[in-house]
Homo-oligomer: A and B are copies of this chain.
Amino acid sequence: MNVADELLTGNVLAGGRAIRWLDDGDPRGAQVVSAIFARTGRAHIIGVTGPPGAGKSTLTSALVTEQRRRGRRVGVVAIDPSSPFTGGAILGDRVRMARHSTDPDVFIRSIGTRGQAGGLSRSTHDACLVLDAMGYDVIFVETVGVGQDEIDVAALAHTTIIIGVPGLGDEIQAMKAGLLEVGDVFVINKADREGFDAAYRQFELMLHLRADAAAATDPPWSPPLLRAVAVTGEGIPGVADATDGHAHVLRDTGEFVRRSAKRAVDQTLKLLQAGLTERVIDRADTSILAAVEARSIDPYTAAEHLLRTLQGQQAP
């Protein structure tokens, strides 16, 4: 049996291998996706994001436990910052997740960021397809920060959880603003800490402003603001209720399928863009690039010229 067939039966070794191939850009990964794609689109993909120190891993781990309690098979895609030093491993997080390692119905995989713009969301999308085909009902995608990568990752989830935490400064709250639009469920974690009330009010205000700005969302969904203490499990069932409820609304309105379809098209365009860029760079007139280096042609003029040259190569 080949890797695609194996992973469709739920074989974790085959699943892990496919994800590694895809993360590495190994062409066998693309073959696996071709073979499994028709069997995907069923899993509920939940993005978990928030600033450093908000307790994303602990909350994700608690939600995994809760979803298992609800009888679901659970996958986790953890996005590690690539680093030659840590190898992307965050030891503390690994330990927190370790309690699921003996559960055959939980599958956790880390993927690297590869340092390539757009590469992260491409790899994450592929990993979600593999876990989806393996039959996991719920897939958590846990990001590391609050930048553009996180917004891209949120775009590929059905449901995005944004985690806040008491006691972080103005800068954090402002950063979160960029993520506010993509949040479906908001959770203030570490709610037993000093500063909870202030953080709650800040989030409430932001959500209120958002409600004004986007009165008619599709589907109609009013993002709840919840409190949790992930280390003790307090508030976790409420968070799971909220994500389950959101999935329910998405399925009822047909939005679940539409989001999956949109993701697949986005992925196609990203792959197309990557492939094109590779070919163009292979063929680009290097004398123009040398002129840019020497500052005798500016980047805009050079790019325009290269584009025109490529068009000139095409049949009329």
Contacts and interface: CB of A to CB of B under 8 A. Distances in A.
Interface of A: 30, 33-34, 37-38, 40-41, 51-53, 56-57, 81-86, 90-93, 113, 115, 117-118, 120-121, 144-152, 168-172, 174-175, 177-178, 180-181, 206, 209-210, 213, 260-262, 264-265, 267-269, 271-273, 275-277, 279-281, 284, 288-289, 292-304, 306-307, 310-311, 313-315
B268 A37 contact: no
Chain A interface main SS type: helix
Contacts of A264: 292-293, 295, 298-299
B115 A170 contact: no
A37 B147 contact: no
Given A148-B148, A262-B293, A276-B307, 11 more contacts: A52-B172, A84-B181, A84-B213, A85-B206, A86-B174, A92-B171, A145-B147, A147-B147, A265-B293, A271-B302, A275-B303
Contacts of A90: 170-171, 174
A297 to B, nearest CB: 8
B151 A150 contact: no
